[in-house]
Amino acid sequence: MHISEGFLSPSALAAGWAIAGAGVAWGLKKMDSDRIVRVSMASSVFFLASLINVKLGPSSTHLSLIGPIGLILGWTSFPAIFTALLLQAVLFQFGGLLVLGANTASMATPAVLAYLVFGAATRSRNLRLASVASFAAGFLAVMTSALLVGLWLALSDPDMMLTAKTIFAVHVPLAVVEGVTTLFMTMFLRRAFPDMLKGVDRL
């Protein structure tokens, strides 16, 4: 869901950097030395998962895993995703440097929301509740990200409203895939590495 350079207005670019800057600063404040490896690992996973981009006009679609990243990292999703997007912009020209703030806000904000809304439920002893919450975290994280991308574009140019709606619609199948992926990843972590999920309580 990278937004390409040249499509956002100066005000949208400024708003994106304001949100991203605040999120990264708060995430770094919440990060301690014990979390650096976890954040680095999640950043690498996001970097690799989103390397395969399918162009959608001024944006693109790709696997992101922002749902499980949010469940594992909480607020530190912001510095993890920012770092991955920065490297992608510099190394592969995905998105760009000017739109880096908006792209970070579009992907890290839903990750944090997944943690805040569904984090506790995914660790519930009620397996059915945990499963539903895990799927919802992955699905809604992607749809929220697509909605934010559409809003950036529509606010920058009202003529791009149709493009924004198209971007939102085509992300529904991807959101289903991400929801299922998040479900399986969360169930695996509950069994094999429960501390990966329990650890977010200290964020």
Give pLDDT tens digits along the chain (203 positions).
Answer: 678 888 899 999 999 999 999 999 999 998 887 788 889 999 998 888 877 666 655 655 667 899 999 999 999 999 999 999 999 999 988 888 999 999 999 999 999 999 999 999 998 899 999 999 999 999 999 999 999 998 999 889 888 888 888 888 888 988 999 999 999 999 999 888 888 886 444 44
Q: What is the pLDDT of residue 70?
A: 94
CA distance 39 to 44: 9
CB atoms within 10 A of CB 139: 22
**Phi/psi at 56 (nearest 5 deg)?**
-130, 70
Q: pTM surpassing 0.85? A: yes
DSSP sequence for 97-166? STTHHHHHHHHHHHHHHHHHHHHHHHT-S-HHHHHHHHHHHHHHHHHHHHHHHHHHHHHH-GGGHHHHHH
CA distance 200 to 46: 18
CA distance 141 to 63: 12
Q: Are 200 and 72 in contact (CB under 8 A)?
A: yes
CA distance 112 to 27: 10
167: burial class by Cβ within 10 Å (0-12, 13-18, 19+)? buried
Strand residues in 9-162 grouped as ranges (E): 54-56, 59-61
CATH number of the 10-202 domain: 1.10.1760.20
Q: What is the pLDDT of residue 56?
A: 58
